[in-house]
Amino acid sequence: MASVRTENLKKIFKKGKSEVHAVDGITLTIPDGQAFGILGPSGHGKTTFLRLVAGLEVPTDGYIYFDDDLVSAPGRIVVEPEHRGIAMVFQLWALYPNMTVYDNIAFPLRNAGVPKSEIDKRVREIAEELGLTRVLNHYPREISGGQMQRTALARALVKNPRVLLLDEPFSNLDAAIRDGARALVRRIQRERKLTTIIVSHDPADIFSIAEVAGVIINGKLVQVAPPTEIYDSPANETVARLGGDINVIEVKASDGIIYISNSVKLPSPIPKLEGRFRLGIRPEDLVLSDSAEAPGMTLVGRVKVKVSSYVAGIFRTLVSPIDDDSIEILVNANGYVEPGSEKNLLVRLPKVKVFSEKGESLTLPLKS
């Protein structure tokens, strides 16, 4: 196992005359044995960062250390990928099409000169653990997507790597089997205490597997925290959106009250708030009710229902304040709500996030 540390890591690509700062000065330490998730919009540098750690890209600036060994420096690869003791699962799994599942998994061991009997033992062990025993003699084109993914995982784990790198490992799986795949990766990581870096644009992957997550936006590290903290206390609006659905509404604050509309208002979590701000509240932290009370919730006003639709176990309901039709708020309701009807809107106050007009969070918890 190894810890991974980067210092002011930068990667600049030249596209014709313009430069793209794919990774723009990232300093990060991932301790030995930690599952670290990297979240961010597509194309903002997550995969580039991972490839830099793998040694598949040369840093334009900055340093990368595995434990205390320098592996990458500005403009050069000090230790090549094959000597870093890493394993990588690619987005499209990169299985060798001309080899059977058995040979795919055995490949790294053969290259390392492991004796044949030992190879057989280890391949069969990992195949058993990942449920691949039945397909060992098949070719990648003959097996399902889930099996291909587990083969890629097996190939990565069979060499007992120091660091495991996963690049969007579930994005090519059917949605139905993703949960099972996530559970599998999580179990493997926890059991082996394997330093793992998983990159994904899907927050569900990060939340299920990572102990700590880093958010990369425009090549910069914007927030590093446990996933729940990123979800509840995002550093800015973009991070908030990355975490999941969120309503962001332009509001006015005065005298300690935040006004969504003239009649829909709530007490401000920040004392003495004045001016224009952006209010962030997730659909699951809102409730529609006929009563004025609900445990843990605060009444903020009366709304009219515009649309109610059923998606994946939730009734996504779009509502507007009765005195301002232009503001639309998404609420996760428990049941169908008749469009046109009026309901009370209640809010879970501790979950309210306030952002400045530029999107920076003003409700981050104080760090000691």
Partner 1 sequence: MKESHGEGTKVKTKEGKGIGRSYIQLGLMALPTLFFSAFLIYIVAWNLWLSTLNWSLLHSKPSFVGFGTYAIVFKDLFFKVSIYHSTIFSLGLVAIGDAVGLLLAGLLYYLPNTQRAVYLSIFLYPMAISMATNGLIWDWLFNPELGFGWLTSHMGLPRLNPLATATSTTLSMFLVEFWAYTGLAVLFYLASFMSVDKSIVEAARIDGASGFKILFRILVPNSMNGFIVATALLFLFSFRMFSLPFVIGGGPTNLDLMTLVEYVYYRFYTEFFSESAAASTIITAIAAAVIIPYAVYGIRKWVMRG
Partner 2 sequence: MASYRARLAKYVILQLAGAIVIVFWLIPLYAMLIDGFKTNFEATATSVFQLPATPTLSAYIAVWNSMKRPLINSLIVVIPVTLISGILGTMGAYFFYVLGEKHPIVSNAGFSVISLATFLPVESAFLPLYLFEYSSHMVNTYWGLIFAYLLFYIPTAALLMSIFMPVVPRYLIEAARIDEADHWTIFWKVVFPLIVPGFLSTVIFVFVMSWNNFFLPLILTTTPSMRMVPVEERYFTGGYGTLYNETYAAAVLASIVPLAVFIALGRYFVRGLAALGGGAKGV
d(CA 184, CA 128): 13
Question: What's the per-residue H, E or C state across 343-361?
Answer: EEEEECHHHCEEECCCCEE
169 φψ region: left (φ > 0), alpha (ψ -120 to 50), beta (else): alpha
Most distant CA atoms of the chain, gap in Å: 77
Out of 23, 30, 50, 54, the only residue in the binding site for partner 1 (CB under 8 A) is 54
**Stretch of 73-81, 207-215, 249-257, 334-342 lying at the interface with partner 2 (CB under 8 A):** 73-81
DSSP string, 321-336: ETT-TT--EEEEESS-
Choosing among partner 2, partner 1, none, which partner's interface includes residue 294 (Cβ < 5 to 8 Å by kind)?
none
* Pair 268, 257: CB distance under 8 Å: yes
Residue 83 is a binding residue for partner 2 (CB under 8 A): yes
d(CA 243, CA 248): 13
**Stretch of 72-80, 186-194, 259-267, 305-313 lying at the interface with partner 2 (CB under 8 A):** 72-80
Q: Write down the least CB distance from residue 83 to partner 2, Å.
A: 6
Interacting residues with partner 1 between 130 and 169 (CB under 8 A): 155, 159
Residue 112 is a binding residue for partner 2 (CB under 8 A): no
- What is residue 114's DSSP assignment? -
Q: Write down the least CB distance from residue 76 to partner 2, Å.
A: 8
Judged by beta carbon, residue 78 or residue 99, the one nearer partner 2 is 78
Residue type present at position 141 = R
Residue 58 is a binding residue for partner 2 (CB under 8 A): no
Interacting residues with partner 1 between 76 and 95 (CB under 8 A): 80-82, 86-88, 90-92, 94-95
Residue 320 is a binding residue for partner 1 (CB under 8 A): no
Residues of the shown chain interacting with partner 2 in the complex, contacts defined by CB under 8 A: 78-80, 83
